[in-house]
Structure 1
């Protein structure tokens, strides 16, 4: 494994602060790009430094980062998950069906509580199914998750008969519209998830196992690591995080549309991981890199929109970013 990949391994010793600084050094290129974008917009984009603009950008990128944390783990094992957007849609259509159900008319708090739990668990269960497709049926990850990429959104559309579900339920909408201490609630949730993912990769046996499986699956199996269980676990985690992201999206919009929730999320998440420096071939997990990668992509999109470039052009830019990131990865590996 390369020196860069080795630096992404969980540390058994050494101070946590020194480890964190070392990880920041590994993604210094992403940090410099992000700083350049921030400075450019601060100088040339009106109102960029306003609280409103900051909140808008953080709100839009929070769900991408949440899903990308799971995608980082999946890609670190040498896999990929194309179903994340569809799992967001499934979670997003299930929640209103629960908290708007007449059975909870006199106990709305119970309906809201279940709406936070059940859809996320369902998305997680579909993630387990992805993992079983990969480990039991021996399907290539891109093929295994393509099944739910197609069928998952179809399931969401069938559940609602393709109809938009609108609602006004403050208790539920807080996950997307709440502002504790003036900070968007989903941003706080996102930071917690990033911190937990970083801790898991750097400090736990599970994190070491993820990197070992992605680095050399055969050797990992021979060393006693339960390869199949690790793979199923990362797909399950990605499903759970996709379910959370789906709830945030519908809470922001106060409506659930099976046709729109999670659209293109798979591309956003993969792009964030690739730009952040996680090898798409596996064996490395740059959690902080994924965070900065998502912020870079969001700022590029904002910069283009602020200059009148159509949003559709951002898709082309994202694709170009992935190609460039992969090309740079290949170059580093050859060196």
Structure 2
């Protein structure tokens, strides 16, 4: 007990205790890795300095970033959401089915209502996950795994198993619209990141979320509305995944339930973990999550630019996950 207290108290003379390398890497490693990767691309990757390349990166980031922000909140409570990819597919299917013309088997509805319905579908999925976790007391990995399996089947059922092409002017604006050279969808994702940061740092909800992840039993004894908070967290994750699915649909110009959101849950978990949010909850690092998303997307772009096979890219991502988890474990054992 004395040793533990000594580690937490400042050293003589007001100096802070020495920070271990594991803690330092967990706090700043993602930024160092991102800086190194940027420098590498500036030197060795052709046309990397072109604004067109940066715009392309901006266009690819929003879906992963939105899903990762929701995932960070869920992991902050000590949970996990494996259904985000399937949620993207469901939202995409709902939007496409509603807006596509009757001659194609759709309803021919207005695009703005179709977008709202897709987001509502994501909300329903998120609330369902939250209720199963918070009320039925099912482990988050089991609760969300069910929709990982069933969700894509639901999306296929909505579309009849077929790809639905979308020729909607507004989706072209979503896909190509820019403000000062920055895609609209990137500005939306950045705004969401700011809102989530404020939610975590400046609201009671944020404090409750972190408290639940830090110690669930103590949170219950302290009178924190655990059920309501957990349901809200999963609902936010579902909504952000739905928006990501609609953005991905606009980029693809079609709803493809077999492709939209595929393996997105793994990319989001990787970004969150690499960004420094511990898998056991109790802390959320939004800026680190954003940096993790940029790092992973830039890494994929770099590998493609140098003609590295996609199979190698997936193995590199797996190694990054293992490394990030190891660093977190080392950091916890040294504190």
Residue 92 of structure 2 aligns with which residue? 92
1:58 to partner: Cα distance: 1.7
* 1:53-107 Cα shifts (integer Å, max 9, x gaps): 111112212211110000000000000000000000000111122222459xxxx
Question: Does 1:60 find its partner at 2:69?
Answer: no
Which blocks of at least 5 consecutive residues in structure 1 are unaligned?
7-24
1:27 to partner: Cα distance: 4.1
Which blocks of at least 5 consecutive residues in structure 2 are unaligned?
9-24
1:30 to partner: Cα distance: 1.6
Range 304-313 or range 125-134, more displaced = 304-313
Contact 1:100 1:111 (C-alpha < 8 Å) held by counterparts: no
Contact 1:165 1:255 (C-alpha < 8 Å) held by counterparts: yes
Q: Distance in 2 between matches of 1:89 and 1:176?
A: 18
Question: Does 1:254 find its partner at 2:246?
Answer: no
Question: Does 1:213 find its partner at 2:212?
Answer: yes
Q: Distance in 2 between matches of 1:285 and 1:262?
A: 23
1:210 to partner: Cα distance: 0.4
1:240 to partner: Cα distance: 0.1
Residue 45 of structure 1 aligns with which residue? 45
Range 310-319 or range 146-155, more displaced = 310-319
Q: Distance in 2 between matches of 1:90 and 1:75?
A: 22
Q: Distance in 2 between matches of 1:159 and 1:331?
A: 46
Q: Distance in 1 between matches of 2:263 and 2:316?
A: 13
Q: TM-score by structure 1 length?
A: 0.89
Runs of 4+ in 1 over 6 A off after TM superposition: none
Question: Does 1:222 find its partner at 2:216?
Answer: no
1:319 to partner: Cα distance: 1.4
1:233 to partner: Cα distance: 0.7
Number of residue pairs the alignment of both structures matches: 309
Contact 2:55 2:181 (C-alpha < 8 Å) held by counterparts: no
* 1:167-195 Cα shifts (integer Å, max 9, x gaps): 21111332233223321111001100100
Q: Distance in 2 between matches of 1:237 and 1:51?
A: 33
* 1:117-176 Cα shifts (integer Å, max 9, x gaps): 111111111111011111122111110000000000000011112111012111133223
Structure with larger Rg:
2
Q: Distance in 2 between matches of 1:270 and 1:34?
A: 18
SS in 2 for 1:159: helix
Residue 161 of structure 1 aligns with which residue? 160
Q: Distance in 1 between matches of 2:94 and 2:162?
A: 13
Residue 151 of structure 1 aligns with which residue? 150
Residue 285 of structure 1 aligns with which residue? 284
